[in-house]
Amino acid sequence: MWVMTRSHPSRSFVTMGEPSEANDSSRVTSDVGRATVDDRVERGRRARATVPRTTHGDWAPAADRPDPIAILEQQATTRVADLVPIRYGRMAASAFAFYRGAAAVMAGDLGARERSGLQVQLCGDAHLANFGGFASPERSFVFDINDFDETHPGPFEWDVERLAASFEIAARSRGFTPKERASIVASTVRSYRQAMRAFAGMSNLDIWYATLDVDGILRQWGGELGGKAIKNLQRNVTKAESKDRLKARTKLTRVVDGELQFISDPPLLVPVHDVFTAEFRAQIEQVVRSAFRLYRRTLASDRRHLLEGYELTHLARKVVGVGSVGTRSWVALLVGRDQDDPLFLQIKEAESSVLEPYAGKSQFANHGQRVVTGQRLMQAASDIFLGWQHVVGEGGIHHDYYMRQLWDWKASADLETMAADVMGVYAQICGWTLARGHARSGDAIAIGAYLGRGDTFDQAIADFSRSYADQNEKDHSALVDAIASGRVTAQLGI
């Protein structure tokens, strides 16, 4: 069921901005504590009158819907130009790959819809490949959402619709029958609804402490997985636990003149000395070192103390993902007591969320802080080195970044081999996880009341998912045609 998962900065590093005061509160639920349970139930039921649950199933592209390729081209204007063709090539590979990279396209479609008014901290890009396993600070293997580049407050249904549609699209890519696809999507939404109603009956602290580890997965869904899938899960968890900083040292570095350095594997991994001139490289390295001193201030004091035991020794650009390709992304190698004590940090650019034009401007001036705050709010356990920083580059161009460990027991679902019944269980796991993230930030009682006991909402989202998957196939074809016509340039197979 599981496999292991494994960014070209422009010449923009010149001076570092001071980090703003850490803010771990999203204010999404600021009025919840002053309302009674009955008031919150009534709020959810009133939302049904404003936006009936059945209306979530009514979707068709707007007559003035923007050209999806134009949206991608607009995003490319702020990205590293020579990496954008890799993004187009990856998105062109399949309809599901296109969907992964087209969060901005879907944000426009969702933003044009009626809204429930029930706000949560959204993941913003809650497709099924953005869930997975990783190590908690307590060194247990947990399952959670693992990508928050687009996180932003908004109506809870936007995340549910993106997640459910991703299962419809992925199931189509596997050639599953319409009946199998319908069952998988229904499992996604039913699990979300049932979990949210369960969270509605829990105390605030119990919701906050709720987490999902391997034992929890087996306890809740082991009977549906079957023996083969359970063995695959256990085997891949063991494999995930070996994908750590020591494996990163073996895979990503070599010893040069007695010191560890990143290998060169262009265009996906390129050491800084292969990208820039010696003079400009020295400027970059000086600025990055200053950045680390300021970045430490966004960490808790104990983690700041831990990080101070490491020295930054090497830097490289690394291309990862699909939708993120072209944003400025680095990997930093730090060494502690010796070369057997490496630490790898990813330094990833954070641009404005694709949801902002439709859900309002972020309360954070630094989008790295927006990402970190949303991640800490939605995840049950976050990376101990998760923090942010701001860079002012040449010409006064500003870039925000967030930092985290590169590899720390990371694993993801093997969608290419997953059977239909196993995907149905995986859909339930993702639905539960998304509900838990929303319950931490939003009003679980009101959302649970809105969803109700029956499957009205489930069926509406299933209808939406089919319609949106049809549109996504058309959008993917439009990208393939744009590549064939020369409108956009793509590098395939990278």
81 and 62 belong to one structural domain: yes
Q: State residue 267's pLDDT score.
A: 93
Whether residue 283 lies inside any domain: the answer is: yes
Contact 1, 233 (CB under 8 A): yes
Whether residue 457 lies inside any domain: the answer is: yes
Whether residue 32 lies inside any domain: the answer is: no
354 and 279 belong to one structural domain: yes
Q: State residue 34's pLDDT score.
A: 79
Tokens of 186: 């229904």
Q: Could you read off the pLDDT tens digit of each residue along the chain, which spans 494 residues?
A: 443 333 333 333 334 444 444 433 335 655 566 799 999 999 999 999 999 999 999 999 999 999 999 999 999 999 999 999 999 999 999 999 999 999 999 999 999 999 999 999 999 999 999 999 998 999 899 999 999 999 999 999 999 999 999 999 999 999 999 999 999 999 999 999 999 999 999 999 999 999 999 999 999 999 888 888 888 888 888 888 888 899 999 999 999 999 999 999 999 999 988 877 777 777 777 777 777 888 999 999 999 999 999 999 999 999 988 989 989 889 999 999 999 999 999 999 999 999 999 999 999 999 999 999 999 999 999 999 999 998 765 556 678 999 999 988 888 888 888 999 999 999 999 999 999 999 999 999 999 999 999 999 999 999 999 999 999 999 999 999 999 999 999 999 99
Rounded CA-CA distance 352/392 in Å is 16
Q: Could you tell me where the DSSP H helices lie in 442-491?
A: 444-451, 456-485
12 and 120 belong to one structural domain: no
88 and 220 belong to one structural domain: yes
318 and 328 belong to one structural domain: yes
CA-to-CA dists, residue 341 to 33, 247, 310, 312, 333, angstroms: 46, 12, 9, 12, 11
53 and 180 belong to one structural domain: yes
238 and 262 belong to one structural domain: no
379 and 420 belong to one structural domain: no
Whether residue 493 lies inside any domain: the answer is: no
Non-local CB neighbours of 34 within 8 Å, separated by 6+ positions:
none
Residue 151 belongs to what domain range?
Answer: 37-242+414-485
Looking at the structure of the chain, the number of domains it has is: 2
Whether residue 490 lies inside any domain: the answer is: no
Q: State residue 25's pLDDT score.
A: 37
Phi, psi (rounded to 5 degrees) for 90: -70, -40
Tokens of 392: 């002012």
Query: CA quadruple 351, 102, 357, 24: dihedral positive or negative?
Result: negative
Whether residue 114 lies inside any domain: the answer is: yes
Whether residue 28 lies inside any domain: the answer is: no
